[in-house]
Homo-oligomer: A and B are copies of this chain.
Amino acid sequence: MSTKVRTTKQVEAEHALNAWLAVVKTYNMCDSQLARLLANEGYTIAKYEVVIRLKREPDQTQQALADQCFQAKSGISMLLKVLEEDGWVLRLPDAQDARVKRLRLSPIGHTHAQRMLIVQNRVITAMAEGMSKAQLLELSQTMDQVSERLMRLE
């Protein structure tokens, strides 16, 4: 059995795995709770992601938004079509590059963004309860470093 002999490397990898499994569980948990609370207000996670990100950073291209959301650009394209038809999002032509569409929230979009933020804050606040500012900063740093290493992988 593999339980008989374990190198130091394997033991360390196990700690790393456990840590990562905890992250995955927490992520999924957050996702499902957020989805549930957003659904109460008539929103979906997909729309939430787009709207929140456009509020934080307007005038993005669709590509950039797709990258941020870790979604295929085709999916973003279709989602934005709906959001545009519903009057939440504007797809403005770029002055320099005619291929590009610059994305912005409409006033209605901003109103929805505000309501989504209330839900988001409920979840974020619950997650951070009992964590110090220092802990939160360290978590950010740790995750940024992990992201960095993942990006360079292979």
For A31, the chain B residues whose CB sits under 8 A away are 70
Does A74 have its Cβ within 8 Å of any Cβ on chain B? no
A22-43 CB contact bits vs B (8 Å, 1 = yes)? 1111111111110011000000
CB atoms of A13 and B121 under 8 A apart: yes
Residue of B whose beta carbon sits closest to that of A40: B154
CB atoms of A19 and B143 under 8 A apart: yes
CB atoms of A136 and B18 under 8 A apart: yes
CA distance A125 to B137 in the complex (A): 23
CA distance A27 to B130 in the complex (A): 23
CB atoms of B17 and A143 under 8 A apart: no
For A19, the chain B residues whose CB sits under 8 A away are 128, 136-137, 139-140, 143
